[in-house]
Structure 1
Amino acid sequence: MRILQLCHKSPWPPKDGGAIAMLTMAKGFSLLGHEVHVLAMNTRKHQIQIEEIPDDLKEKMHLKLADVPAKITLFGAIANLLFSKLPYNATRFMEVDFNRQLTKLLKETEFDLIQLEGLYLCSYIPTIREYSKAQIAYRAHNVEHEIWERTALVTPGLKRIYLKGLAQRIKQFELSQLNKYDLLVPITDRDGEILDQLGNKKPRHTAQTGIDLATLVPKAGQLEYPSLFHLGALDWAPNQEGLLWFLENVWSKLHKQYPNLKFYVAGRNAPEWLQAKLHYKNVIFLGEIEDAYTFMNSKAIMVVPLLSGSGMRVKIIEGLALGKAIVSTTIGAEGIAVQKGKHILLVDDADEFIQTISQLIGNRDLYDQLCKNAIDFIHEKFDNLAIAESLIDFYKQHLHG
């Protein structure tokens, strides 16, 4: 098959869940022998040069970048609020130049399937219909409006009112795009069921973010036990709010119990205001790290204190693959078919966090068993090649003719 993936940001470098999800799928398609083309928006926030992309990756896929500013400004947000019914999140990705490049590509190349990576690529379905006979698959990375509804619930003041309004607009946009595609590919079963309830009538197939098992190899040689760590994009509001909640409600008490315990915080694009709030005793802020897997292998207990968000946390999948003991909120582990207490420990209030982390510190056998179960679970459920192959089978069943 000749497949085109449309992306709202470059899949390289794979430093956040969205980029990882796009890149692993493209690699999977390529390894299965399909011809893969990627047209990605090169935004201000995630800007790269084509020269930065490794040669071996360029050999696996035809990758083109289209400059799309997609910048967030106060003026832009206010103008959108006053003069548009569309959500600001969507209008930022509606770009004439991207549409022009897409049109050119569709005129030059005949595709069997076009996979839209995320909600905001659905705006380009009319262009695809005009210039291509390809089947269109909408890969829903999450239920977009749910993220903003949940963020609004944990946000105080005037900002909550704005976020509630934005969530409503995003929901209307999400509803307006339902069934314009031919096939629906949610990343979790849960998201697929929600989209069905909202009105999806098209065939759907869940394709989780797979793991390259040859790359994620558990190595416990340099393990600092006990230690805690948090890893994630620190410019993402759900990560920010969850981390600050954890520090105020959990770490402040945990540190009194274990004065020598260290909590490592890593992630890119941490704004200065957030860095200023990380000054707690024994909290070590590392910022963006060169090698996430080496870092994760060296630390013991991963904490995921998410209070909002949607979709699937790829960092949890990576943590499980590396045999990490993970303590997460229920929302954090949503969409991942883990067994509570066997593969991961799920807690939803500060006292439970403290109690559960204390158990892992005091019981090395429990810690080791949890780590082993995590690795076994990923090897059974998240092999990228198997996930890509299953999705290709689904696509072949629904291709025209």
Structure 2
Amino acid sequence: MKILIISSYLPAPQWGASARSYYLLHALAEYHEVCLLALASPEEVQISAQLPLVQELNGRVTLLPFQPGGAKRRQQIETLLRGKSYWLEACILPEVQDAIDALYVQEPFDAVLYEGLFVAGYRLPPGVKIVLDQHNIEQELLWRTYQNEKEPVRKIYNWLEYRVLKRGELERCQQADLVLTTSGREQEWLQTRLSGQQIAVVPNGVDLERFQVDPARQEQAGRIIFTGTMDYYPNSTAVLAFARDYWPYIRRQIPGATWQIVGRKPPPEVERLGALPGVVVTGSVPDTRPYLAEAEVAIVPLSVGSGTRLKILEALAMQKAVVSTSIGCEGLELEANTHLLVADEPGAFVEAVVSLLRDAEKRARLGSAGRALVEQRYGWGYCGELLTRAVSVLTGDTVSSPVGTSFSASEGD
């Protein structure tokens, strides 16, 4: 079967949503002929012939240059005044529609996989099956952002955007033949609102070979870590709140404690946290594993989110003790006090982090249980099998033998 994957970014194994797209593309390409149509930075387009993913797909990749404009606030207001959602409109571009039409003329595809809600608004030929990969329930994420926001103008905007996006998200899901969610919680959430819709759970996963204990690196006493794309609102608000309400109290009890904030595109307010005692803001790094290897505790103090957190799965795969809020570990089949510690109030969160920094045996116990769990339920190989099975049921296509596409997850690290 021929499948066209449409994405608003170039899939790569290094970060969040992009990693999910990369590994699921990998799984489908084992059994189907896969083409990729993605928006990319002008720099990525310029060197596209040398990109590992382009080579792995034998050139069946179309990259279109996309640089978000600087007048985002004006565009948001103008879109709302037209009764539309900015987020549902931002990636719906004439040049992408033209590319879809041209690709179908050259070599008709049987199904389209939209990598995320925001690219799921294109016109497709009749009879093409539509699969929508819902990385998040976007209206839930926006509602929680509205509830969390303190700045009045942004709060009002989030409320107005939520009201428009809510309707559009459900409409796009209804137009799909199959909707994918990252957890059973989100599957149930959508099913109650879309009776009769075919919805399958394909969890987020982790590369179990890449993320494992690194015997060459020693944990640094008192080191904690937060990983994530830092211009993503749930991540930036989490570290800002942690710096204000948690970090001073951890340092008071463990004066030598250090905290690394590891992730690309930190906004200025996050970069300024590097001036705090014991805090390092790394910015973009080629590989998070060395930083995880040297940490004693991974923290996930999120108050906003949807979907599930790959950062937790990666930390558990490296046998790290994790402290998370309930929202941070939402949707993952984890048991508090067995696989990680869960705390929602600042005082309890601080106590959990401090207790782990002081108890190597407890860290080891949680880390070992976490690794065993991800090996059982969250390897990308298992997640890919679930996707392949769901797509085959949808299309009536029998999966037999791989088509021979070879992938290397370590490429481009």
Q: Deviations over 1:132-154 (max 9, x none)?
A: x3321111111001111111111
**Matched residue type, 1:18:** A
Tell me which residue corresponds to 1:85: 83
Alpha-carbon distance change, 105 to 37 in structure 1, aligned in 2, over 3 angstroms: same
**Matched residue type, 1:198:** R
Tell me which residue corresponds to 1:20: 19
Alpha-carbon distance change, 55 to 112 in structure 1, aligned in 2, over 3 angstroms: closer
Which residue, 138, 141, 152 being the options, matches 2:132?
Answer: 138
* Cα drift, residue 171 of structure 1: 0.7
Q: Secondary structure at the match of 2:246?
A: helix
Q: Deviations over 1:86-128 (max 9, x none)?
A: 111111111000100011112222323221111122211xx21
Alpha-carbon distance change, 195 to 129 in structure 1, aligned in 2, over 3 angstroms: farther
Does the Cα contact within 8 Å between 2:2 and 2:34 map onto a contact in 1?
A: yes
Q: Secondary structure at the match of 2:199?
A: coil
Mapping 1:122-133, distance limit 5 Å: 122-124=120-122, 127-130=123-126, 133=127
**Matched residue type, 1:204:** I
**Matched residue type, 1:119:** L
Please say if 1:254 is aligned against 2:250. yes
Alpha-carbon distance change, 17 to 55 in structure 1, aligned in 2, over 3 angstroms: closer
Q: Deviations over 1:295-349 (max 9, x none)?
A: 2112111011111011111111111111111111111111111111111111101
Deviates more, 1:277-286 or 1:137-146: 277-286
Please say if 1:268 is aligned against 2:303. no
Does the Cα contact within 8 Å between 2:34 and 2:57 map onto a contact in 1?
A: no
Partner Cα separation in structure 2 for residue 303 and residue 47 of structure 1:
35
* Cα drift, residue 240 of structure 1: 0.9
**Matched residue type, 2:8:** H
Q: Secondary structure at the match of 1:128?
A: coil
Mapping 1:294-309, distance limit 5 Å: 294-309=290-305
Identical counterparts, % of pairs: 22
* Cα drift, residue 60 of structure 1: 6.5
Normalising by the residue count of structure 1, what TM-score does the alignment of the two structures yield? 0.93
Alpha-carbon distance change, 56 to 224 in structure 1, aligned in 2, over 3 angstroms: farther
* Cα drift, residue 47 of structure 1: 7.3
**Matched residue type, 1:299:** A
Alpha-carbon distance change, 231 to 75 in structure 1, aligned in 2, over 3 angstroms: same
Q: Secondary structure at the match of 2:221?
A: strand
Tell me which residue corresponds to 1:8: 8
Tell me which residue corresponds to 1:384: 380
Which residue, 134, 138, 152 being the options, matches 2:146?
Answer: 152
Partner Cα separation in structure 1 for residue 39 and residue 5 of structure 2:
11
Alpha-carbon distance change, 339 to 45 in structure 1, aligned in 2, over 3 angstroms: farther
Does the Cα contact within 8 Å between 2:7 and 2:116 map onto a contact in 1?
A: yes
Please say if 1:94 is aligned against 2:92. yes
Partner Cα separation in structure 2 for residue 118 and residue 97 of structure 1:
18
Alpha-carbon distance change, 148 to 49 in structure 1, aligned in 2, over 3 angstroms: farther
* Cα drift, residue 367 of structure 1: 0.6
Alpha-carbon distance change, 113 to 201 in structure 1, aligned in 2, over 3 angstroms: same
Deviates more, 1:349-358 or 1:64-73: 64-73
The number of residues matched between the two structures is: 394
Alpha-carbon distance change, 154 to 331 in structure 1, aligned in 2, over 3 angstroms: same
Q: Deviations over 1:187-230 (max 9, x none)?
A: 11111111112225222211112322222222144221331011
Partner Cα separation in structure 2 for residue 11 and residue 261 of structure 1:
35
Does the Cα contact within 8 Å between 1:7 and 1:116 map onto a contact in 2?
A: yes
**Matched residue type, 2:317:** A
Of structures 1 and 2, the one scoring higher in RCO (CA 8 A, sep 6+) is: 2
Does the Cα contact within 8 Å between 1:24 and 1:211 map onto a contact in 2?
A: no
Partner Cα separation in structure 2 for residue 313 and residue 52 of structure 1:
30
* Cα drift, residue 43 of structure 1: 5.0
Q: Secondary structure at the match of 2:201?
A: coil
Which residue, 108, 113, 116 being the options, matches 2:114?
Answer: 116
Please say if 1:212 is aligned against 2:207. yes
Partner Cα separation in structure 2 for residue 235 and residue 143 of structure 1:
19
Which residue, 173, 180, 195 being the options, matches 2:168?
Answer: 173
Cα RMSD between the aligned structures? Answer: 2.1
Partner Cα separation in structure 1 for residue 46 and residue 253 of structure 2:
45
